[in-house]
Amino acid sequence: MTLKLSVDAGSPAAPYEQLRAQISEQARSGRLPVGCRLPTVRGLAEELGLAANTVAKAYRALEADGVVETRGRAGTFVAA
């Protein structure tokens, strides 16, 4: 599994919203299977050149939508 994400600085959508939409679409299409562990907030932020708070906000929105679940220190996973 490879998480393919990109953030378009010229987009009118906020970076966290771009991440939320991309991860949600990949999870719902099956490209990210249920139980798949997502990168850490800091790791993904560093990889994309974003602030950790931006990635954390996207993960919180995805959790509120039921797309992912956070299992404490174990990480964030695609939900059933």
User: What is the pLDDT at residue 11?
Assistant: 95
| Domains by residue range for the chain, with CATH | 15-78 (1.10.10.10)
Is residue 42 packed enough to be buried (19+ CB in 10 Å), middle (13-18) or exposed (0-12)?
exposed
Q: How confident is the model at residue 1 (pLDDT cuts 50, 70, 90)?
A: low
Map residue 68 onto helix, strand or coil. Answer: strand
pTM: 0.93
